[in-house]
Chains A and B, each alone.
Chain A
Amino acid sequence: MKSHSRHALRIALTLSVAATAGAAIAAPSCGTDPVALNAYFETGFPLPTELSTEFTRQFPNVTFEIREDQFANMMENSPRILSEDNAPDLLRLPSLTDLVANDLLLNLDTYYAELGWDQFPAGQLVQLRVEPGGRPRGTGSLYAMGLNYSMTGVFYNKALAEQIGMTEAPKTVAELDALLAKAKEAGILPIMQWNKGTGGFAFPLQNLMGAYGAPEPINDWIFQKDGATINTPENLEAAQHLESWIKEGYFPTDANAIEYFQMMSRFIGGEGLFMFNGDWESGNLDKNAAGQFGFFIMPTEEAGGRHATMSSPLTFGISAKAANADCAAFFLDWVARNEEARKINVAVGGSNPGGPADLAIPAVEPGSVTESSLAAGNMLAQDNGAMDFIANATGAIFSAGWTPELQKMVGGQQTPEGLLEAVQQEYESQLSR
């Protein structure tokens, strides 16, 4: 009896170890049982929904329960959404640091190892890494993944460009200035830009920052590294240049009253030669205004210089309370690797789908805006000039710093020096809380 018991125990232990080992080596997946992924997406961006539809087509046991919200609302509500009992499995993340500091996001290091995300270029994931306690960013554990990797640059209206004799993208800031002056002289609005609600002038400003200085110190500031400042001589030059554009009348006089969607509508309607915006609009422009618009990366100060601009992932994370974390992680991996998903990502998202370096970017329509923006992305990658968005430095720096100060600058109420000083002061005040 004793021997029999010992034998039974040995079998049980063997099975248990085997089961444990099997669980350890099995990559996370959605399994075969029905799964309803609780997802929280951003209103106005069809890409995540289209990807989820394709995912359900390929994995019929997985359905998505999608809620949508405006980006600004998500910035404000994400902590509460993540702290709910039925927190989303998958959600669009406006910022990471506060969420990590409050243990609301799932640490993805395990998935990084199990799903082979080490095959992704390290630079793709750097913005998604956070040290314990929420700062600094850029190093530490992985807390999110990108659905794609977008960048900001300059869209242009081909018909208006032809009208002023623009035959190719400008290669220096001086060439861009000359084109702006020509447009103004020809009675064409040089730059269509929004600045109501959220400061859209942050896009041209950060592009100019990239033209005048290296991206690393700006990233250090965004990642909240000790002693980092946005108030540098290079950034001051950029802010002064932006102010000169404002004073020259290159932007709409009512820019402070223009919302993002109004800007898009007016630009598509033919108002404005240039527009500083992200390549997430490439797919939209190709679909709704095929052949009418182009895209180029912000030129450098000197010809042949290093290109740098805002480029960041379309960030998605998994709640620390997620009921289907494995399936959500599998979805994020699938988006980057699956051929059909990558095609959707480029066609709808208009941006680089990221993923392992050896995977080719899906082919796009020759002459399309998406083709131009992907080419610009290659140029940025070669120069290693990606910066996170200056509005992502803290959870509130956009609403309390950049937006009001840029609006003041447009209204002639703020100087370039004052702009950078005020934003730096607000940044330090927020970090000290």
Chain B
Amino acid sequence: MTEPQTTVPAATRQIQRLPRNRGSRNSKLTAWLFIAPAFLAYATFVLVPLGMSFYYSFLRWDGIGKATFHGMTNYITVLTDADLLQIIGNAFQLVAYFTLIPVGLGLAIASAIRGQMAGTFGTVTRTIFFLPQVIPLVAAGIAWSWMFASTGVVNQGLKAIGLSSWTRGWLGDFVWALPAVGVIGAWVLLGLCIMLLVTGIAKIDPSLYEAARLDGARPWHEFRYVTLPGLRQEIGVCVTLTIIAALASFDIVYIATQGGPGITTTVPGLEIYRLAFAHRQVGLASALAIVLMVLVLVSIAPVQWLTRDKK
């Protein structure tokens, strides 16, 4: 009596397990099939070029002729050459403009228009703020180059308010060219940050604001103790995106200043392009690209850690 009782449930378990295993294998296969096209594209256009760049970074090669192994020389050059170090430094200066202004100003604007994003006002506001995001960076660079020209609207505005002595060719000025490029980047990124932050604010429970007001909180207190903590993750996304935009910038700088005057606005992205295509030092360009990638990762890692969900 006991024997059949023990064997039957065992057999039943086995019968029940079989379809579940097959189903699991099938679902895994399905998942892989869904992932495969994207992974293939990612591998082709990201992983393979990354691996090739890493390989090239150990070569001395003009991109056409014979390549020779160059050891760590390219990396040593990147980390010791005064011009290349200044160029890397320029990118970190741009972080101040590309990140602090859009995130700081974005927070202020998003808080100010909180609760007024419904209806026509909200639609118009969203469109206006988001417009720079849909304009190609090259077009933005050209438009701002005109505005910053000696006869451009910036100088005309300064003249109109009696500040003629402040007028200058902004993008050709050793002191002001980098900040001017920074303003262009800040303008482009501001709309994106505002949109992300406004969306984030919409997700904050309105009862928190209500409770704060009942406790006598002023707008600043609402911002400090409700909005800011509630936007931790959105701020993290904004800071991450803007830091990457600053460190990996190319289009705006290439169009606005081409890295000049001197090398005051040259950034690693532009220098990588120049080293590879104009100077025909593919190995050195690849080494700088790898170093830039590491710098980007090192820069955004703390941001990711600080703004991660700590539930």
Contact = CB atoms under 8 A, between A and B. Distances in A.
Asked if A and B bind, the verdict is yes
B280 interface: yes
A83 B279 contact: no
B278 A395 contact: yes
Contact of A256 (B63, B148, B173): B173
Given A98-B280, A254-B168, A257-B149, A399 B274 contact: yes
B274 A196 contact: no
A253 interface: yes
A111 to B, nearest CB: 25
A254 B260 contact: no
A101 B62 CA distance: 11
Interface in B273-289: 274, 277-281
Contact of B65 (A102, A252, A255, A399): A102
A256 B150 contact: no
B278 A433 contact: no
Given A196-B257, A408-B261, A433-B281, A257 B64 contact: no
A76 B277 contact: yes
A27 to B, nearest CB: 33
Contacts, number: 97
A253 B168 contact: yes
A344 interface: no
Given A252-B150, A399-B274, A195 B172 contact: yes
A98 B261 contact: no
Contacts of A77: 277
A411 interface: yes
B100 interface: no
Nearest to B279: A396
A196 B260 contact: yes
Nearest to B175: A411
Contact of A196 (B62, B171, B281): B171
Decide if the interface of chain B is mainly helix, strand, loop or mixed.
loop
Contacts of A104: 64
Interface string B265-299: 00000000010011111000000000000000000
A88 interface: no
Interface residues of B, number: 28
A413 B262 contact: yes
Given A76-B277, A77-B277, A255 B260 contact: no
B169 A258 contact: yes
B274 A197 contact: no
Nearest to A77: B277
Given A258-B169, A411-B173, A79 B260 contact: no
A80 B65 CA distance: 11
B235 to A, nearest CB: 36
Contacts of B281: 433
B279 A400 contact: yes
A425 B60 CA distance: 20
Given A195-B172, A411-B174, A256 B260 contact: yes
Interface in A316-330: none
Contact of B258 (A79, A98, A196, A254): A196
A395 B294 CA distance: 30
Interface string B99-138: 0000000000000000000000000000000000000000
A80 B282 CA distance: 13
Given A411-B174, A433-B281, A403 B65 contact: no
A192 to B, nearest CB: 12
Decide if the interface of chain A is mainly helix, strand, loop or mixed.
helix
A83 B65 CA distance: 11
B250 interface: no
Given A253-B168, A256-B169, A411-B174, A197 B280 contact: no
Given A102-B64, A196-B171, A254-B168, A408 B262 contact: yes
Contacts of A412: 174
Interface in A249-270: 252-258, 262
A257 B151 CA distance: 11
Contacts of A254: 149-150, 168-169, 172-173
A107 interface: no
Interface in A395-410: 395-396, 399-400, 403-405, 407-408, 410
A104 B65 CA distance: 10
Interface string A362-376: 000000000000000
B262 A407 contact: yes
Contacts of B277: 76-77
A407 B261 CA distance: 5
A411 B279 contact: no
A197 B168 contact: no
Contacts of B56: none
A411 B261 contact: yes
Contacts of A414: 262
Which interface residue of B62, B64, B174, B259 has the most chain A CB atoms within 10 A?
B64
Contacts of B170: 257
Interface string B236-278: 0000000000000000000001111111000000000010011
Contacts of A181: none
Interface of B: 60, 62-65, 148-150, 168-174, 257-263, 274, 277-281
User: Which A-B residue pairs are the 6 nearest by beta carbons?
Assistant: A254-B169, A257-B172, A256-B172, A257-B169, A407-B261, A76-B277
15 contacts: A79-B62, A79-B63, A79-B64, A101-B65, A102-B65, A252-B169, A256-B261, A257-B171, A257-B172, A258-B172, A395-B280, A396-B280, A400-B274, A404-B262, A413-B174
